[in-house]
Structure 1
């Protein structure tokens, strides 16, 4: 059975939205919008409304995903409260379990009454509605990294997302991160759908998602990063998912290099871009500058950029495509 499972996963790795390039999601998106503001007090009825008039499982799942992402708000205050409590009880398993049980009730009460929740609530609702529509779907618990994650404390799972089975293949999606972002000025949630987290490429997904059960990476064993490599990986942002299919180089967030040593940035693109759209925002702690690297190669959808630091120092480097912030690295440049 174990070898059969591995065989199935080996032949479905890198399952992603491009598998459905001929599918038009307009009708599914229209239905999700039509039932905007529906209540959660009757999930079987909601699942029926969203999926009954669609022909394929991928369209039915799309309607469910779009509805959840467009109607459920992320409760950041509740998230931070949970993180503080879990940190406080991290060395006391009994108190941690008691808190987790209590917190689960709070999460689902808020979800049902106020349409606000955390990642667990998003993943639960996606799974519940999918199962009601006869679509296989699982909740995946694991670790996630963002620009606000303290990686030094990333020792317990801090995020949940979904795996869904479509046409006998498993796919990954993150409804929490797809639904929106916090307003930096107010810290309040704002709906802002990101399609990059719908049926994402597992290779890109693995840069900032690490499942507790590694089978849900949906990658061949040789392609699965270690947890150490995951912790050391660069920060990639939501816009990476709308521009890239794969992040290749640099593999680490923090890098030590020599003056005049070539740094290589390498990505696989979703769609072609022009060299003039590529820029690096470089900050040395005192000032920042935007540069357009001269050594930029774009062949089909493969993007390679080279850059050299001519002075020693410590630099934050942000990679941009147009106005989209893709990723962040640091470089300590030695003489």
Structure 2
């Protein structure tokens, strides 16, 4: 009975993620994707065949497809902004909204094939098409997503798409759009910068900034108890969080109200061990910002726990870093 209970608990907390494939080296799949760099999209069956022919497992075949898409398809921010503007404008006119969506889907597909540029729906569509051609079960997931630039007050309709893929009988999550690259901080033009962390991500971490329209794609045991409000209130996490964290645990909210000298706990589960000398907070009080070391830092079984207490009243933005990687952001209103 005790053994059964242990197995139940273990399975209950074992979310489908890349660590399920620790024994597989993805270097060969990535080399295959690189070999066919700059291939055109006018023959998807041939592209899918070339990307998957000499790979032994479905996860390697899907990795080659995912890496190729993320390394060859550019994110069109202008197209995304135009779509968001039109959808907001027509949100109360179902006929105009339907006509716009139909027109936009055609334009998106045309630009994807002609220029290798698209937005999230194009990324998710292409990953699914290539996976289907390789006989790998893959779905497009539509839902809500938030970044540091998202106006959460205007998140009243799905604004992002990603993929769920079935490998060895289990469903996994990935985001090819966010894995492909980032805007240049100076020019705001797209730059390829592959982020491996969005490939078969931990659903618990994924749920902090992804909320599917159909909650079954959360892939969480407590999906029915996971609310949209909790998603909106959750902290901001950045792309580098996916490279460093297995999951984020605390604080659970972006905006927090505390008292002076109250101890605040920050807790994360890491992918790999880190040098505690390289963890820090950048704290901005509106007048100046300073790099602050945590009051205490502990690491055990790859769980990283930090504490901090604010000595003075005020409003603070707190940015958490591991070395040079910005991981997450919170705000704290400190009262007497």
| TM-score, scaled relative to structure 2 | 0.95
Deviation at 1:300, TM superposition (A): 2.3
Deviation at 1:13, TM superposition (A): 5.7
The answer to whether 1:231 aligns with 2:232 is yes
The answer to whether 1:43 aligns with 2:44 is yes
Which residue of 2 is the match for residue 138 of structure 1? 139
Write the distance in 1 (CA, Å) between the matches of 2:29 and 2:13: 25
> SS of the counterpart of 1:286?
coil
Which residue of 2 is the match for residue 325 of structure 1? 326
1:188-207 correspondence to structure 2 within 5 Å: 188-207=189-208
Write the distance in 1 (CA, Å) between the matches of 2:197 and 2:162: 14
From the superposition, tell whether residues 255 and 170 of structure 1 become closer, same or farther in structure 2 (CA, over 3 Å). Answer: same
> SS of the counterpart of 1:146?
coil
1:47-196 correspondence to structure 2 within 5 Å: 47-196=48-197
Which residue of 2 is the match for residue 17 of structure 1? 18
> SS of the counterpart of 2:282?
strand
Q: Is the 8 A contact 1:13 1:220 kept in 2?
A: no
Which residue of 2 is the match for residue 249 of structure 1? 250
Which residue of 2 is the match for residue 315 of structure 1? 316
Q: Is the 8 A contact 2:216 2:223 kept in 1?
A: no
Residues 63-84 of structure 1 show CA distances to partners (whole Å, capped at 9, x for unaligned) of 0000000000000000001111
Q: Is the 8 A contact 1:239 1:325 kept in 2?
A: yes
Write the distance in 2 (CA, Å) between the matches of 1:241 and 1:191: 17
Which residue of 1 is the match for residue 4 of structure 2? none
Write the distance in 1 (CA, Å) between the matches of 2:38 and 2:20: 31
Write the distance in 2 (CA, Å) between the matches of 1:303 and 1:203: 16
Write the distance in 1 (CA, Å) between the matches of 2:124 and 2:29: 20
Deviation at 1:225, TM superposition (A): 2.3
Residues 93-112 of structure 1 show CA distances to partners (whole Å, capped at 9, x for unaligned) of 11111111111011111000
From the superposition, tell whether residues 215 and 223 of structure 1 become closer, same or farther in structure 2 (CA, over 3 Å). Answer: closer
Deviation at 1:294, TM superposition (A): 2.9
> SS of the counterpart of 1:264?
strand
Deviation at 1:224, TM superposition (A): 5.0
Write the distance in 2 (CA, Å) between the matches of 1:272 and 1:13: 20
Write the distance in 2 (CA, Å) between the matches of 1:186 and 1:16: 34
Which residue of 1 is the match for residue 307 of structure 2? 306
Write the distance in 2 (CA, Å) between the matches of 1:92 and 1:272: 52
Write the distance in 2 (CA, Å) between the matches of 1:304 and 1:38: 46
Q: Is the 8 A contact 2:215 2:223 kept in 1?
A: no
Q: List 4+ stretches of structure 1 deviating above 6 A.
A: none
Which residue of 2 is the match for residue 7 of structure 1? none
From the superposition, tell whether residues 149 and 68 of structure 1 become closer, same or farther in structure 2 (CA, over 3 Å). Answer: same
> SS of the counterpart of 1:18?
helix
Deviation at 1:184, TM superposition (A): 1.7
Q: Is the 8 A contact 1:180 1:194 kept in 2?
A: yes
Which residue of 1 is the match for residue 3 of structure 2? none
Deviation at 1:246, TM superposition (A): 1.1
> SS of the counterpart of 1:28?
helix
From the superposition, tell whether residues 60 and 165 of structure 1 become closer, same or farther in structure 2 (CA, over 3 Å). Answer: same
Q: Is the 8 A contact 1:13 1:218 kept in 2?
A: no
RMSD of aligned residue pairs (Cα, Å)? 1.4
Residues 156-188 of structure 1 show CA distances to partners (whole Å, capped at 9, x for unaligned) of 000000000000110000000000000121111
